[in-house]
Chain A
Amino acid sequence: MTTTPVRTIAPGMPLPLRQRIRLWIESEPVLAYLFMSPGWLILLLFMSYPFFLGIWISLTDRTVGLPTGEFVGLRNYRDLLRDGVFRLTVLNTFIYGFVTVPFKLLLGLLLALLLNQAFRLRNVLRAALLLPWIVPTALSSLAWLMLYDPVLSPFSWLLKDWGVVEGSIAFLGSRVNAIVSLCVANIWRGTPFFAVAILAGLQAVPHELHEAAAIEGANAIQRFFAVTLPVIRGIVVITTLFSIIWTFADFQLVYVLTKGGPANSTHIFGTFAWQEGIGGAGKLGMGAAVSLYMFPILAALSAILLRYVRSQET
């Protein structure tokens, strides 16, 4: 080695305390936690804390207006299992959460494929058709409430006018009718979300792939399955899981349209928890227990979603 001899630095004074503190604060891990602290403070206070408080409350008979309740163990959970309304609620939630999804997915996919074509006013239409997803659900549900009105429903009017039915239809009058009506309104609200998400995926499909497949003689349907579907599969799966979770934990639409009626036959978890815990008797413990019955299902769905998102990243 022919390095020139280096002037060695005299061993310096230890850093002053103030400079050491500054160095420590400006190091990346410390700065990272510092930056995240306001957000986490809010999440801890208003998400984690209530979550654990909810578990505690569900084990008591606390009611609205009284500061605390008695510890009752798992009684609320046990009572719920014996409650016919709750069992119906579970069934309704599954119907509402899972049956609507294939419709939303299929309609959304179809709409996305249509919007992926070139035509005039495409951007305007794309923007307009997302409206059901954008506007406050409670307010758009009011429009549906009127569309389902036993007397004023324009659907009834049209069907009567065409001579299909004799009298007005009670869209929300019976359990079956009401659930179908709820599902239709939910599909109406959710389809645009699927459409726009899938459309974004479609636009990522390389055009050359289509041309190559077309040259090889694949027709439109074959091309869809061979070229398009593999590319958008990730988006479709993730969107579907999101939609299931959100629908499963819905509240507004059912609250506005039926409030769980007629005769408590169309409740889902959210509305039943509200009725038990806040609205009716104000049995907070019972309401919290209803909510927490959702947790295992949500956790399972979230785990699947998380695993899928992870696998997509790599």
Chain B
Amino acid sequence: MVGSNRLSSRILFLYVPLALFTIFLLFPFYWMLIISLKPNSLLLNTKVNPLYLTEFTLRHYRYLFENTEFPRWAWNTAVVTFGATLLSLTCSILMGYALGRFRFRGGNLVGTAVFLAYLIPPTLLFIPLSQVVVRFGIYNQYWALILTYPTFLIPFASWLLMGYFRTIPRELEECAMIDGASRLQAMWRIVMPLALPGVLSAAIFSFTLSWNEFLYALVFMGSGQMKTIPVGTVNDLIRADVFQWGPLMAAAVLGSVPVAIVYMFFVDHYVSGMTAGAVKG
């Protein structure tokens, strides 16, 4: 704001609304954390104020590791996330490069198709896709998710990288090719290092989206030991109507921490990728 820096108006128009937003947006996390640390005796006592923690325990976390399949779910989630991210990045770098760099007939049409693919939600496809997964013999295997997650990761990442590649001057590559590089060498040694911020954005996005995915994981890998953290937590830790809130919230905390950490480290890349998605589609 240009003027109006008086303290009272700043409090009223800036700090108070910001505080309200902070409470609204972060309270569920606070709650998650508290409950995961709260002894059951305290949890079920409706007389005491539930918003504070008068004593805390780590037994919910211990329960999670000793009495549930949580470690296995975490492993599954990690395998699927890394696999899908790696595969999607490889495909997207190539596709984004082709769309951003090469002149070819139908280039615009392909770009539009990629954009539209980005808009197709999993809820539209999951039933027939489950049949495809079964038919390919990858049902309840890591491949079921590693191969299907790219359907929503590749369109987004390609779109993002296409924009990135376009910002790198063509002359750099041409110069490299005259200097003695083949096209692939020029791409690898000149374009890729310069596109690294974009690649990082795409990687972080793919990582979080894969980690967070729920529907495909539920339908294609939702039985036995192959569950991911979100699916396992929601399906296995809620048994009938007996909510084990402590372990549930502990699992929610642990399942959120990896993405939160990755995100906190690369927040600027994440935001620039996100707005690229919003602005350029």
Contact = CB atoms under 8 A, between A and B. Distances in A.
B154 interface: yes
Interface stretch (B57-65, B143-151, B195-203): B143-151
A238 B128 contact: no
Given A28-B102, A138-B231, A291-B124, A154 B2 contact: no
A130 B14 CA distance: 18
Interface string A273-312: 1100110000010011001101100100110011001000
A36 B233 contact: no
Contacts of B107: 32
Contact of A154 (B24, B51, B102, B128): B51
A291 to B, nearest CB: 5
Contacts of A242: 278
B117 A43 contact: yes
A211 B2 contact: yes
Interface in B1-27: 1-4, 14-15, 17-18, 21-22, 24-26
Contact of A129 (B21, B91, B148, B280): B21
A69 to B, nearest CB: 11
Classify chain B: how many residues form its interface, as a range.
35 or more
Nearest to A153: B50
B245 A139 contact: no
A39 B95 contact: yes
Contacts of A137: 212, 214
Interface string B192-234: 0000000000000000100110110011000000000111011
A130 B249 CA distance: 20
A256 interface: yes
A278 B125 CA distance: 13
B129 interface: yes
A59 B275 CA distance: 40
Looking at chain A's contact residues, the main secondary structure is helix
Interface residues of A, number: 100
Interface string B63-76: 00000000000000
A269 interface: yes
Given A28-B104, A196-B275, A42 B215 contact: no
A154 B50 contact: yes
Interface in B163-186: 183
Interface in A91-132: 107, 110-111, 114, 117, 119, 125-132
Contact of A143 (B15, B31, B44, B274): B31
Contacts of A274: 126, 215, 218-219
A135 B212 contact: yes
Contact of B252 (A111, A125, A142, A273): A142
A57 interface: yes
A39 B128 contact: no
A114 B280 CA distance: 24
B128 A53 contact: yes
Given A291-B126, A309-B115, A36 B98 contact: yes
Contacts of B230: 136, 138-139, 252
Given A46-B151, A246-B121, A36 B94 contact: yes
Given A110-B17, A143-B28, A251 B128 contact: no
Given A139-B255, A200-B271, A277-B127, A46 B214 contact: no
A284 B21 CA distance: 43
B127 A32 contact: no
Interface string A236-273: 00110010011011111001100000000000011001
Contacts of B248: 142, 146
Contacts of A131: 25-26, 29, 260, 263
Contacts of B240: none
A256 B219 CA distance: 15
Contacts of B127: 54, 57, 273, 277-278, 284, 287-288, 291
B156 to A, nearest CB: 11
Nearest to A140: B28
A132 B43 CA distance: 24
Contacts of A47: 117, 120, 125, 151
Given A144-B28, A152-B46, 9 more contacts: A28-B103, A36-B110, A38-B95, A46-B151, A135-B212, A157-B49, A251-B122, A255-B214, A255-B234
Interface of B: 1-4, 14-15, 17-18, 21-22, 24-26, 28-29, 31-32, 35, 43-44, 46, 49-51, 87, 90-92, 94-95, 97-99, 102-105, 107, 110, 112, 115-117, 119-132, 147-148, 150-151, 154-155, 158, 183, 208, 211-212, 214-215, 218-219, 229-231, 233-234, 243, 245, 248-249, 251-252, 255-256, 259-260, 263-264, 267, 270-271, 274-275, 278-281
